[in-house]
Structure 1
Amino acid sequence: MSDTIDKAQIQSELILEYQIRQATHKISLPTRTHCIDCDEPIALLRQQKVAGCQRCVACQTQFETQKVRG
C-alpha cells in the first residue's frame, strides 16, 4: 500500500514542479493545435491556459506517468 502512496506522491510532485515551471518561465515552444504524440486536436481551452502545450491531456498524463515509473 505504501508503494502506491509513494508513487502517487511522486506523481503529484512532478505535476506541481511542471506547473510551477510553466508559470514562472517563458515558454519558448509555441502552443500546438494538435498533439505531438497522437496528432489529435488539443482542446482550445488547454491551448489558452497552458502556454506552449505540446500534448493533449490524455497524452500529457501518460507522459508524466511514464516519467514517474522511470
Structure 2
Amino acid sequence: MLSNRALDHAAAIEMADREKAIREVRARVRRGPSAEFCQDETCGEPIPEARRLAVPGCRYCIDCQARLEQHFSPRRFG
C-alpha cells in the first residue's frame, strides 16, 4: 500500500504535467489570429467576433468544432 507521502508526490507530478500540457495547448492556440470564416471544407460560415475573442486562434465555428471534438473524442474509441 502506498503512503500518503507517495500519493501526494504522485498527485503533484500529475498536476505539474497537466498544467504543462494546458500551457502548451494555449501557446499553440494563441500563435495566430482567429479565422474570420470557418475552415471546415463544407462550412465556411463567418465565425462570430465573440467566439474569436473568447477562443484566440480558433479555426472553426462552434458547430464544426463540436463535431470535430465528438468525432475525435477518446470515449468514441473506448
Using the size of structure 1 for normalisation, the TM-score is 0.61
Distance 1:31 1:53 in 2: 5
The structure number with the bigger radius of gyration is 2
Number of matched residues? 49
The alignment status of 1:43 with 2:48, answered yes or no, reads yes
Higher relative contact order (CA 8 A, sep 6+): 1
* Structure 1: gaps of 5 or more residues: 1-19
Identity of aligned residues (%): 35
* Structure 2: gaps of 5 or more residues: 1-21
Distance 1:43 1:60 in 2: 13
Deviation at 1:42, TM superposition (A): 0.4
Name the residue aligned to 2:68.
Answer: 63
Using the size of structure 2 for normalisation, the TM-score is 0.55
